[in-house]
């Protein structure tokens, strides 16, 4: 779930490595260095995959583990299509950050292995985001995590933290990228213990020689195998949909807490795109405690900034603190403050309808606009049943039906950390305002 970084991997050859025969290497993908396209001296490539391809250096590593990982990828015909669709939004930024630090470009592919480039992914062990960072590790790396916001899901914050962590692991594990990656996945302590045991038995201490957990033994080969397929797609008979070699998003200041639905309207951006670019924002409005900014498509930034400048204080999210009285109910309180019961539950983290006299509720007000746009009732929408298909994700379904990911989760009482299953039935409410 976490690793280290630099420029060219330090890989010790061991008995665990079994190179392919020379003839097969030449025919399949292990082309001699002089046959690999040199870095373009002039105009940069239009395709981001080509930019990555020109910098890959690990694709000549081969053994049985890498071979099995490669075959596993090749048995998934939709994998690269799904990855490229998500990569449109995030990969250019990650590549820029990896290059800026002078790290191996292969590290930019790590989110493909960790989360299939899905910032909403959550593992059974609660690792989250593109880089699958555990809660405790996230706190150690300075990522904020609260009811409003999770830095492990934030595209920029998680990338910074993951690359910081990878660099630290690399420096502390013999400057060996394979060991650093193993430590990212299973922990530095586990790698050091495996090295100690191997040393006591008179064996080599490189990654390929260590007795590591099954998942960690597969982890590094997956990244290497993926780099091979991206390096030589024609040799493997695969087509990788192009990804623009240009930024998809820009940073826009919000000037304060703002409802996500209002932000989408100001920027003229579909709600599912705004959520996909800002997965760290967990609620109906931006966090009041973090930097007041959102990521937006590059071409939406100017319009959004103009809209933000025109907002009055009354347009902002404002709060009342209401002490619950005997005989109160959520329905009565919502009616009195011209808001929605669902919003009161959301803001105050209430399950069900039970409230207690004497407790205090936070009530957002001045949000009639949000009620009419973001909280369209089910009665105003057409109910549809959708059957999940292979390759589907919450992100893809939300985009297809122009609804929010959070709505799909709420309508179907889904566990955000669980994977959708082919054949699974979802209830959707589409249309409306």
pLDDT tens for each residue of 204-247: 999 999 999 999 999 999 999 999 999 999 999 999 999 999 99
What the block records as the tokens of 158 is 């998680």
Parallel, antiparallel, or unpaired: how do β-strands 382-387 and 425-430 relate?
Answer: antiparallel
Distance, in Å, from the CA atom of 157 to the CA atom of 432, rounded to the nearest integer, reads 35
Q: What is the pLDDT of residues 338-378, one digit of tens each?
A: 777 877 887 787 878 889 999 999 887 654 444 443 444 34
Burial call 207-240: b when 16+ CB within 10 Å, e when fewer: bbbbebeeebbbbbbbbbbbbbbbbbbeeeeeeb
Selected residue with higher pLDDT from 195 and 30: 195
Q: What is the pTM of this model?
A: 0.75
pLDDT at 7 over 90: no
Q: Say which residues have a Cβ less than 8 Å from residue 73's Cβ, sequence separation at least 6.
A: 79, 222, 225, 226, 229
In the residue annotation, 114 being an active-site residue is answered as yes
Q: What is the pLDDT of residues 154-190, one digit of tens each?
A: 999 999 999 999 999 999 999 999 999 999 999 999 9
Q: What is the pLDDT of residues 383-405, one digit of tens each?
A: 788 999 988 888 788 888 877 77
What the block records as the tokens of 154 is 């934030």
Give the mean model confidence (pLDDT) for residues 65-93. Answer: 93
Q: What is the pLDDT of residues 248-274, one digit of tens each?
A: 999 999 999 998 888 999 999 998 899
pLDDT value for 218: 96
Containing H/E element for 350? none
Distance, in Å, from the CA atom of 181 to the CA atom of 179, rounded to the nearest integer, reads 5
Helix axes 405-412, 394-401, angle to 10 degrees: 100
Contact criterion met (CB below 8 Å) for 267 and 300: yes
Q: What is the pLDDT of residues 25-42, one digit of tens each?
A: 323 444 333 334 444 457
pLDDT value for 35: 36
pLDDT at 16 over 80: no
Could you say which of 106, 114, 259, 275 is catalytic?
Answer: 114
* Angle in degrees, CA 85, 183, 8, rounded to 5: 70
């Amino acid at each position: 779930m976490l690793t280290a970084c630099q420029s060219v991997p330090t890989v010790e050859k061991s008995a665990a490595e079994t190179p392919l025969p020379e003839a097969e290497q030449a025919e399949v993908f292990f082309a001699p260095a002089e046959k690999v396209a040199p870095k373009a001296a002039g105009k940069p490539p239009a395709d981001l995959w080509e930019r990555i391809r020109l910098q890959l250096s690990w694709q000549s590593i081969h053994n049985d583990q890498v071979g099995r990982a490669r075959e596993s990828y090749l048995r998934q015909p939709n994998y690269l299509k799904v990855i490229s669709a998500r990569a449109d939004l995030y990969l250019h930024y990650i590549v820029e950050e990896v290059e800026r630090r002078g790290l191996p470009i292969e590290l930019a592919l790590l989110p493909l292995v960790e989360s299939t480039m899905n910032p909403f992914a959550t593992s059974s062990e609660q690792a989250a985001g593109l880089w699958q960072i555990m809660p405790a590790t996230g706190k150690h790396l300075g990522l904020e995590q609260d009811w409003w916001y999770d830095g492990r899901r934030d595209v920029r914050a998680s990338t910074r933290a993951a690359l910081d962590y990878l660099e630290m692991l690399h420096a502390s594990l013999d400057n060996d990228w394979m060991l650093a990656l193993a430590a990212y996945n299973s922990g530095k302590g586990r790698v050091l213990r495996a090295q100690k045991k191997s040393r006591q038995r008179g064996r080599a201490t490189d990654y390929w020689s260590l007795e590591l957990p099954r998942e960690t033994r597969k982890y590094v080969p997956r990244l290497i195998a993926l780099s091979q397929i991206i390096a030589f797609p024609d040799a493997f008979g695969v087509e990788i949909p192009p990804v623009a070699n240009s930024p998809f998003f820009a940073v826009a200041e919000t000037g304060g807490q703002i409802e996500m639905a209002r932000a989408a309207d100001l920027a003229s951006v579909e709600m599912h795109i705004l959520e996909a670019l800002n997965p760290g924002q967990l609620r109906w409005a931006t966090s009041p405690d973090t930097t007041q900014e959102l990521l937006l498509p590059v071409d939406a930034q100017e319009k959004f900034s103009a809209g933000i400048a025109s907002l009055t204080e009354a347009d902002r999210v404002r709060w009342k603190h209401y002490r619950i009285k005997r005989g109160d109910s959520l329905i009565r309180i919502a009616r009195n403050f011209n808001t929605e019961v669902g919003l009161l539950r959301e803001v105050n983290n209430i399950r069900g309808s039970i409230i207690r006299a004497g407790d205090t509720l936070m009530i957002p007000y001045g949000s009639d606009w949000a009620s009419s746009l973001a909280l369209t009732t089910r009665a105003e929408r057409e109910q549809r049943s959708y059957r999940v298909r292979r390759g589907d994700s919450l992100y893809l379904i939300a985009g297809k039906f122009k609804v929010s990911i959070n709505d799909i989760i709420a309508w179907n009482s889904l566990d955000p950390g669980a994977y959708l299953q082919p054949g699974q039935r979802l209830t959707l409410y589409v249309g409306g305002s």
